[in-house]
Structure 1
Amino acid sequence: MTTVNHEHVPAAARRIAGHVLRTPVIEVSPGLWLKLELLQHTGSFKVRGAFNRMLSAGELPASGVIAASGGNHGLAVAFAARALGVRAEIFVPEVTSPVKVAGLRALGAHITQTGAFYSDAADAAAKRAVETGALAVHAYEQAEVVAGQGTTGLELVEQTGGVDTVLVAVGGGGFAAGITLGTESAGSGAGGPRIVCVEPERIPTLHAALRAGEPVQVEVGGVAADALGASKLGGLAFEVLSGPRVESVLVTDEAIVSARHTLWERHRVAAEHAGAAAYAALLSGVYRPAPGERVAVVVCGSNTDPATLTTA
């Protein structure tokens, strides 16, 4: 599959059923829902795409699977590989949090930590995949991965009965693209709800791509760099996210930290910084819903040190 559209999402949902969790949605105030995808296996949405990629491939090679990751995608690939009985080799950058590295080890993955950024790990993983013949599972630039992530959006619409707007964090863009397609495939209105894509000001991959008319390199830094640290938006994601339903907004690191604290203090939701980014747009007023607007916020990751929930 080299392209992806909304029709691929229901097929992905059927394929990965039984391998992933149907994560809960909670209505925290009238017309405002949190989709708690951080309660998914391995603490993020990433297992959806990992399983769909592997199960779409048929018989997996003896050398197993290989991936580059800021942490969460690697955890998902390692989890799916263990469930399917194959070897997983994961490349991560030096900024990957110790919590995520420890999780990879616990899942039995073979880990190589290399380079300052995700792009460095991705280059090393691509070279290694050619050498070994392992199945490459990209974090966002594969149609099967995007369609798998889109099952989150499909669920969200079914669970809420339909919303006007979905706020979702963006790194490489695969998750946001999947959400866009998944909410469309659920038949939640004329083309689906508005998708508000939220990025840290210090990693504006989508924002820069929309301005330039194509994916471009951006500098990477800030509190969410370990999970949202792609230096360039994926091409598949750009095709989807440059559509009329999508709005791009930026949030400060300070807003992300505050949102993470609020999720914990107010709702006892233990999110990592990237997982709190979408909520930060709402709390900081970067996105202001209209009166009566039905809004869902996807809280997408929980791989964090719980000791820092009230301090950093």
Structure 2
Amino acid sequence: MSDEWKEPSESKVLGDGAGQEQKSWKLLEKTLLASVQEQRRARRWGIFFKLLTFGYLFIALLIFSPSLPIGSSKSDATGHTAVINVRGMIADEESASADNLVGALRAAFADGASRAVLLRINSPGGSPVQSGYVYDEILRLRAKYPQTKLYAVITDLGASGAYYIASAADEIYADKSSLVGSIGVTAASFGFVEAMKTLGVERRVYTSGEHKAFLDPFQPQKADETEFWQGVLSTTHRQFIDSVKAGRGERLQVEAHPELFSGLVWSGEQALELGLIDGLGSTSYVAREIVGEENLVDFTVKETPFDRFTKRLGASIAERLSIWAGLPGPQLR
């Protein structure tokens, strides 16, 4: 009997179709997995090159940053006038902090080639504590190195805490148009009491001391607390005045000008008449004509580029907000 042709069974046809479909899905799955792996590999390489670039920049900053924290140049055997810049706000963590200025002053006085030390000042003032630290250190160094004079030269501005520091110098010089003085103390804040009432906001403060929240700008002022705070400012002002008098002595024309310690600021020309400064002149003038050594060597503490980068990166937003909303403390202005 001859073999008869038979049609493929339905189950076999379906089986072959399912197999082809399964193969297609496996191929698609492999393609997708390969694409994901390629993306992961690309991301890894991207991260690697970013880290490599950052490491390169970090090493470059360390290599090419100044290796000496104090001074932009070293002294030689011929002698020089040591210069220290006092720029900007006098406050902790600023370039004109007590730590930076005291360190620079010690290095400048200790350098045997320093014929004199010159403070080049352009500052509106700042913290009475930081200014007091520098003032006291200047007096100590002047007593330790009596042969080395210290001069202060005010450029654009030498006010408040900056003048506090300058008054410890042997002599003070300024330009005829410099702004000098502002011997006073200020502390400022805002009051949001009425604004909170308008907005319907209730302030809740919990303290364990009767006057613990007396500087809270969201609560009404109390007469006794205001009087107390004014006493704190007056005490700081008196300390400021006593230090200036001790530094300037009889050169101050206090009797003829009782407003000398009122917080007013004067031009360099007026300051000379008031006894706040000793003469008119620039840094180079003082070095050349007064010290007799016009070779200037900068002993100012230098921030490396890496220091500046990290300082900006780590700037505290919370601190700025607290200053805006509350009271940062008394300032010599």
Same fold (TM over 0.5): no
TM-score (norm: length of structure 2): 0.30
Whose relative contact order is higher, 1 or 2, with alpha carbons under 8 Å and at least 6 apart? 2
Q: Which structure shows the higher helix fraction?
A: 2
TM-score (norm 1): 0.31
